[in-house]
């Protein structure tokens, strides 16, 4: 993730990653009381480097902090400019950018009165790989929204994701799929889920999921491409009857699913709507034009 030359942004300054320090008595380290974002920069068709949906990500960072009472005294335009500067100083074009808001020393369980911000970046390929994923229904549920502000992209929440991913890997699967507290399908440890059935796309509504920015982009693309889409709750059994399915997220982008709990989806990925959306997503982040007809021809 970094080497001796890596530069990061910390509270308004650009520092060498190896020289930047933090306190060991912070609430973030001890209680997982921190908030982060995952953003991608792409080298677009005209050669310009663009941070995809930068405003949306920093708006969510702010909201994530507000939801868990971490002060957010940052200017999002300045933070977006800092992302570009970090990329430039590290000679990066396509990269994953990680803003992290964390809290100063305090061992109590009182809400923070100050916060710090780090922005770092590294080169990262498709997080879940390019090949179709074999996923399993996790024995871990997503956290109950009554127990946490689940729409806050909070560090502590990700222990749940680590447990689910680890269980899936231990059992020989590529990734996990977690249900919500009512037994409906929620999301992956770091991605939202969509499925295709009879020419229509479905995804769980907000409520028990992280409202992903990639999810919003995929929904936008469905509208643009006139692919019917419905947000609704569904069970694992309904998902197993789907024609095809995919995960999406900033790090994972759009990635097709081969099977769930060993049951293979009926439709070949190559002829699925997910594949069309995968290509449309790639075109969108690269600011290339995309013609669905051309894809299907
Ligand atoms: N759900 C979870 C639990 C995630 O961690 C992520 C990744 N941030 C997503 C969904 C997808 O969100 P986004 O598209 O904004 O990256």
Convert the pLDDT of each residue in 170-223 to its tens digit: 999 999 999 999 999 999 999 999 999 999 999 999 999 999 999 999 999 999
pLDDT of residue 297: 40
Token pair belonging to 70:
């971490």
Last residue of a domain, one of 66, 91, 122: 122
Are residues 114 and 201 both part of a single domain? no
| Cα gap 160→32, rounded to integer Å | 12
Q: What is the CATH classification number for the domain harbouring 39?
A: 3.30.470.10
User: Contact, 222 vs 195, CB < 8 A?
Assistant: no
What's 51's DSSP letter?
A: E
Q: 297: CA distance to ligand 1 center in Å? A: 32
pLDDT of residue 295: 52
Average pLDDT over residues 34-56: 97
- Kindly indicate the confidence band of residue 284, based on its pLDDT and cuts at 50, 70 and 90: very high
Percent of the chain with pLDDT over 70: 98
Token pair belonging to 266:
């009926």
**292 pLDDT more than 90:** no
Are residues 158 and 287 both part of a single domain? yes
DSSP per-residue string spanning 185-246: EEE-SSSEEEEEETTEEEEPPTTSS---HHHHHHHHHHHHTT--EEE----HHHHHT-SEEE
Q: How far apart are the first and last CA of the chain?
A: 41
Are residues 187 and 283 both part of a single domain? yes
Are residues 195 and 278 both part of a single domain? yes
Ligand 1: residue of 36, 37, 38, 96 to mutate (most ligand atoms within 8 A of CB) is 38
Closest ligand 1 atom to Cα of 252: 16
Q: Is 37 in the pocket of ligand 1 (CB under 6 A)?
A: no
Closest ligand 1 atom to Cα of 214: 14
**11 pLDDT more than 90:** yes
**25 pLDDT more than 60:** yes
Query: Which candidate in 43, 50, 55, 153 is catalytic?
Result: 153
**296 pLDDT more than 60:** no
Ligand 1: residue of 192, 251, 253, 278 to mutate (most ligand atoms within 8 A of CB) is 192
Average pLDDT over residues 257-285: 97
- Kindly indicate the confidence band of residue 68, based on its pLDDT and cuts at 50, 70 and 90: very high
Ligand 1: residue of 126, 212, 277 to mutate (most ligand atoms within 8 A of CB) is 212
| Cα gap 243→262, rounded to integer Å | 15
DSSP per-residue string spanning 242-269: -SEEEEEETTTEEEEEEEETTEEPSS-G
**85 pLDDT more than 60:** yes
Token pair belonging to 138:
């996790």
Last residue of a domain, one of 122, 141, 174: 122
Q: Is 187 in the pocket of ligand 1 (CB under 6 A)?
A: yes
Q: Is 249 in the pocket of ligand 1 (CB under 6 A)?
A: yes
Q: Is 215 in the pocket of ligand 1 (CB under 6 A)?
A: yes
Q: Is residue 128 included in any domain, yes or no?
A: no
| Cα gap 289→297, rounded to integer Å | 16
Are residues 71 and 138 both part of a single domain? no
Lowest mean pLDDT of 28-42, 122-136, 139-153, name the range. Answer: 122-136
Q: Is 191 in the pocket of ligand 1 (CB under 6 A)?
A: yes
Are residues 47 and 78 both part of a single domain? yes
Q: Is residue 146 included in any domain, yes or no?
A: yes
pLDDT of residue 126: 81
Are residues 172 and 273 both part of a single domain? yes
pLDDT of residue 291: 84
Length of the chain as a residue count: 297
Q: 142: CA distance to ligand 1 center in Å? A: 13
Query: The domain containing residue 72 runs over which residues?
Result: 7-122
Average pLDDT over residues 221-229: 97
What's 268's DSSP letter?
A: -
**99 pLDDT more than 80:** yes
Q: Is residue 127 included in any domain, yes or no?
A: no
**35 pLDDT more than 70:** yes
- Kindly indicate the confidence band of residue 27, based on its pLDDT and cuts at 50, 70 and 90: very high
Torsion sign, CA atoms 60, 23, 32, 38: positive
125 or 252: which leads in pLDDT: 252
Q: Is 210 in the pocket of ligand 1 (CB under 6 A)?
A: yes
What dihedral angle (degrees, nearest 10) is formed by the CA atoms of 31, 128, 290, 42? 60
**Number of structural domains the chain divides into:** 2
Q: What is the CATH classification number for the domain harbouring 162?
A: 3.20.10.10
Whole-structure pTM value: 0.96
Distances (CA, A) of 196 to 42, 69, 97, 128, 244: 28, 38, 31, 20, 5
- Kindly indicate the confidence band of residue 30, based on its pLDDT and cuts at 50, 70 and 90: very high
Catalytic: 153? yes
Q: ipTM exceeding 0.85? A: yes
Are residues 104 and 148 both part of a single domain? no
Are residues 36 and 172 both part of a single domain? no
């Amino acid at each position: 993730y970094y080497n001796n030359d890596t530069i990061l942004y910390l509270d308004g300054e650009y520092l060498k990653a190896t020289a930047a320090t933090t306190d060991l008595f912070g609430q973030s380290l001890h209680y997982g009381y921190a908030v982060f974002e995952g953003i991608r920069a792409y080298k677009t068709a005209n050669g310009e480097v663009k941070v995809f949906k930068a405003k949306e990500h920093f708006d969510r960072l702010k909201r994530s902090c507000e939801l868990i009472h971490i002060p957010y005294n940052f200017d999002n335009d300045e933070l977006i400019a800092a992302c570009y500067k970090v990329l430039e100083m590290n000679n990066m074009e396509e990269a994953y950018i990680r803003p992290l808001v964390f809290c100063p020393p305090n061992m109590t369980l009182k809400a923070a009165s100050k916060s710090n911000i780090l922005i770092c970046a590294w080169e990262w390929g498709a997080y879940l790989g390019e090949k179709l994923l074999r996923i399993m229904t996790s024995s871990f549920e997503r956290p109950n929204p009554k127990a946490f502000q689940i729409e806050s992209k909070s560090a502590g929440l990700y222990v749940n994701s680590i447990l689910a991913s680890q269980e899936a890997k231990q059992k020989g699967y590529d990734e996990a799929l977690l249900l919500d507290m009512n037994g409906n399908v929620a999301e992956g440890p770091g991605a939202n889920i969509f499925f295709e059935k009879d020419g229509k796309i479905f995804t769980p509504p907000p409520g028990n999921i992280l409202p992903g920015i990639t999810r919003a982009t995929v929904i936008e693309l469905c509208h643009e491409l006139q692919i019917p889409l419905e947000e609704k709750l569904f069970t694992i059994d309904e998902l197993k009857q789907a024609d095809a399915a995919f995960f999406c997220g900033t790090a994972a982008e759009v990635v097709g699913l081969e099977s769930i709990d060993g049951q293979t989806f009926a439709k070949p990925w190559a002829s699925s709507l997910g594949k069309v959306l995968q290509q449309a997503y790639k075109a969108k982040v690269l600011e290339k034009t995309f013609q669905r007809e051309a894809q299907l021809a």
